[in-house]
């Protein structure tokens, strides 16, 4: 199959034009889009909280690493901690 035929068949699937959604399908899709758009702020808030928690975890890892290097009373505190 020549290359141009391949691209044509991908652009225009067998059976001619793709079916257009009916009016009720469009209404349902618009309602679904609206619901999803309303959820964006909630998910953004959750993402912000997770990012803050990741920064706190990174700070704790640095603190733990410093304690390992410093060691308390000549011992390291890495027993049971795997970072």
Model confidence pLDDT, tens digit, residues 15-68: 555 666 677 788 899 999 999 999 999 999 999 999 999 999 999 999 999 998
At 37 the pLDDT is 95
Domain assignment of residue 78, yes or no: no
At 1 the pLDDT is 47
Q: What's the pTM value of the predicted model, to 2 decimals?
A: 0.48
Domain assignment of residue 9, yes or no: no
Domain assignment of residue 30, yes or no: yes
DSSP string, 50-66: HHHHHHHHHHHHHHHHH
pLDDT at 78 over 90: no
- Phi, psi at residue 21, to the nearest 5°? -65, 150
Structural domain that includes position 32: 21-68
Domain assignment of residue 6, yes or no: no
Domain assignment of residue 44, yes or no: yes
């Amino acid at each position: 199959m020549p290359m141009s035929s391949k691209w044509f068949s991908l652009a225009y699937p067998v059976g001619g034009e793709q079916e257009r959604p009916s009016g009720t399908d469009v209404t349902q899709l618009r309602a679904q889009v609206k619901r999803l758009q309303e959820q964006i702020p909630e998910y953004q808030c959750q993402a912000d909280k997770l990012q803050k928690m990741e920064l706190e975890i990174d700070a704790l890892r640095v603190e733990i690493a410093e304690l390992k290097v410093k060691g308390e009373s000549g011992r390291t505190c890495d027993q049971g901690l795997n970072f």
